[in-house]
Amino acid sequence: MKSNMQQIIQQLAGWTVGMIIGLLAAISLIFFFTWSAVHHAGWLYKAEPVEQSWTLPSIESDLPEGKEGQQIRYGYLLVSETPKWMGPKAKSHELQFAGNNLTCKNCHLDAGTKKGAGSFVGVTNRFPQFRGREGTMGTIEDRINGCMERSMNGTALSVESPQMEAIVAYMEWLSKDVPADVEAQYKGFAKIRIPDVRADLSFGQEIYQRECVTCHGTDGQGQALAGSDSTKGYLYPPLWGGDSYNHGAGMNRIITAAEFIKGNMPLGVTIDAPRLSDEEAFHVAAYIDSFDRPLKPEAEQDFPDKKLKPVSTPYGPWDDPFTAEQHKYGPFPPIIAYYEKEYGLKKDK
C-alpha cells in the first residue's frame, strides 16, 4: 500500500513539473512572438531624437500674419530707424523719446541679430534678472529704458506704450524657441584679456586714425544719412559729442567699449574673426571715451550697492580707494584684485 502511494505521489510530482515546464515554455513562446511583433513595429524603442534646428527669422519672410506681425515689424522699425519713429525726427514732440539721432542698431548691429553685438536673440529669455545698476530685479522693459536714458540720451518709455510693447514683441519674436547653446553664441560681446596698464590715449589715437577715421571722421562725428533717409539717423554714428551716448551709458566704460570694438570693428569683422587685438581694442576705446559727451542726470545714484559697480565705471562714488582717473583709464587688474580680496567679488569689467 505504501509502495503504491509513493508511486502515485511520484507520478503527480512528475506531471506537475511537466506542466510547469510546459507552461513556462508557452509563456516564453508568447513573449517571443509578441516582442518580435512589437519590436518590428518600433513600439518598444523610443523614436530617434529629432535634431533641433533653428534659423534666424527673417523680417521679410517669417513674420506672423495680422496684428502680431504688424507689431513686430513696428518694433523692428523702432530699433532700425529710431530718430524717425521715436527720436528728434519724429513727427510730433510727444513721440520724441530718444534725445539723440542714434539708432538702437548702431550698437545692436543688424537690428539686434548679429553675434557679439548685444544681440536681441534670446534676450527676453533671461529676464527678469537682478540689475546691479538699479539694485532690484529688473524686467526687459527696465533694460530697454536703461538704453533709452543712457545710450539714446532720452527719456523712459511707458511700459504700456505702443513703442515699448512693439520693441518687446520684436525681441520675443527673435527669442522664440532658441536652443540654449545657440542663445549663448549670440549673447553679449566678445571677451578680452584686460591689459594691466593704464590706457595709452596716444596709441589709441593712432589706431583710430588707422582703423576708424574713414567711417567716423577725424572729429568722431560719423556720417549722417542723407536725402530721403535723412530722418533715419546715421550711416556711421558719432562716437562723442552732443549727439552721442551720454556718460552713464555702458559704452562709456572702456572695457565694455573694447569688447564691442573687438568683435565688431572695423565694420564687417565678426566675433569669430576679429581684426584688432585685445590691446588695440582697449586703447582705442579709451581714446574714444576720452572726449566730452552729454552727462546723465543723477548718475551718482547708480549702483545703490557701490561694491557692485563695474571697475571701469568712470563716475563716482566708488567703494574702494582708487582714483577717478584709474577707474576711467586703468590699470584695472589692481581694482579687480581689491574687490576679490576685500569682498569676494570676481569682476571682469
Comparing 53 with 295, the larger pLDDT belongs to 295
Residue 30 has pLDDT above 60, yes or no: no
pLDDT digits (tens, 9 = 90+) for 209-254: 999 999 999 999 999 999 999 999 999 999 999 999 999 999 999 9
Is the bond into 333 cis (omega within 30 degrees of 0)? no
Task: Provide the 10 A C-beta neighbour count for residue 270.
Answer: 14
Computed over every residue of the chain, the mean pLDDT equals 91
pLDDT for res 4: 53
Q: What angle do CA 288, 291, 294 make, to 5 degrees?
A: 110
pLDDT for res 29: 46
In the structure, what pLDDT confidence band is assigned to residue 75 with cuts at 50, 70 and 90? very high
Residue 46 has pLDDT above 80, yes or no: no
pLDDT for res 37: 44
- CA dist 185 and 190 (Å) reads 10
Q: Provide, rounded to the nearest whole percent, the portion of the chain with pLDDT above 90.
A: 85
Residue 182 has pLDDT above 70, yes or no: yes
Provide mean pLDDT across the span 246-270: 99
Residue 87 has pLDDT above 90, yes or no: yes
Domains recognised in the chain with CATH numbers: 66-186 (1.10.760.10), 201-296 (1.10.760.10)
State the cell numbers at 232. 533715419
pLDDT for res 202: 99
pLDDT for res 2: 45
pLDDT for res 113: 99
- HSE at residue 172, side-chain half, CA atoms within 13 A, is 14
pLDDT for res 35: 41
pLDDT for res 3: 53
- CA dist 332 and 328 (Å) reads 9
Residue 48 has pLDDT above 90, yes or no: no
